Structure 1
């Protein structure tokens, strides 16, 4: 039994946490969560019944961005947490992705377009503003927080990849160039293979 338990479904945001777990390189136990029949121990850990959820030495962490940040801080040998110089961009863009980016792309997928009067209420204004800000994030440095890969790249990069895959973000050269830097990392490849194998086995 590992000190780290990972509740996930391979067709969910759990794929983001899986990538981070593979980057960290620590052993973890996987508990698959069915969309309908959710296990009692999972519901006890996360009453929201959402994946991913992790339990580390009895401590529950939910919310994907929080899981990524927690793992980076808890396992410093992986060198995925920010240095002092990187910290501002690291937190800025990680929580930009968790807030404005996810809200804007979710609303677009649901067909929700705020009116001009509503734009000040929604926290992101318009999707166009979000896209322009995100282009800044991926072009200011080689990676989100600076000149090296950090946990923020796992989270922001995953959102960009999903957005392009499902059409909630527009295709553009800035995003393609950035994703080319991170998608072939060994941990990213392993994570995709593990989750894709689970999907294939279930199909």
Structure 2
């Protein structure tokens, strides 16, 4: 059982979320950068993640994929980082609630809208997110009075939900509501978020340099 954290990613992917979480945890980790068309689809990596997507994480003999799962796993694996409420803490409920809300309704609704696949109004109740506008209202409700999803305690849920909001504002897949903008600004100024961006941006520059 290896204590080494091995992080499989590409700096132009959702792996940036997992990178940020790793930086918040503050434990050493080894990065394996994969190419979308080649190494991400190679047998060695498909044995870890049959989807052939990143991020992926191996630690203590287990493999974890999917961004929300990676964030939740790391928070529990390293409780000393203080990135999740204790299992007996009532805040564990909203922590799970908003983490899975972002991984489910938010991700699905944003993707459907960006691809022109939102259902007609009369069929909206058949999908998990209802309507796009209802999802956005729910997401804004999650922010409450702040500064974080659980009030004063910053958690892994902020990393995952916050990434959805930061990217949604950046790519204009979410409306520019003042509450979203203020939350994104608070998130983006965190030292771990800054470190993660710098690492991934440097990797992108390196990759472009090699292809030039």
- Answer whether contact 1:183 1:189 (CA < 8 A) is retained: yes
Which residue in 2 is equivalent to 1:33? 34
CA contact (8 A) 1:22 1:190 kept: yes
The unaligned stretches of length 5 or more in structure 1 are: none
Instruction: Measure, in 2, the Cα distance between the counterparts of 1:2 and 1:71.
Output: 12
Structure 2 Cα separation of the partners of residues 131 and 31 of structure 1? 35
> Residue 111 of structure 2 aligns with which residue?
106
> 2-side partners of 1:124 and 1:173: how far apart?
22
Question: Partners of 1:183 and 1:2 in 2: how far apart?
Answer: 29
Per the alignment, in what secondary structure is the counterpart of residue 45 of structure 1?
coil
TM-score by length of 2: 0.92
1:72 touches 1:81 (CA, 8 Å); kept in 2? yes
Q: How many residues align?
A: 203
1:71 to 70, 74, 77: 74
Q: Which moved more, 1:175-184 or 1:13-22?
A: 175-184
In the alignment, what sits opposite 2:12? 11
Q: Which runs of 5+ in 2 are unaligned?
A: none
CA contact (8 A) 1:16 1:158 kept: yes
Aligned CA RMSD, in angstroms, stands at 1.3
When structure 1 is superposed on structure 2, of 140-149 and 181-190 the one drifting more is 140-149
Aligned to 1:47: 50
How does the TM-score come out when normalised to structure 1? Answer: 0.96
Moved more, 33-42 or 89-98: 33-42
Question: Which string of whole-angstrom CA distances, capped at 9 and with x for unpartnered residues, describes residues 61-80 of structure 1?
Answer: 11110110000000011110
Q: Once the 2 structures are TM-superposed, how far is the Cα of residue 2 of structure 1 from its aligned partner?
A: 6.3
Q: Is the 8 A contact 1:2 1:27 kept in 2?
A: no
Determine if the alignment matches structure 1 residue 147 to structure 2 residue 152.
yes
Counterpart Cα distance in 1 of 2:194 and 2:93: 28
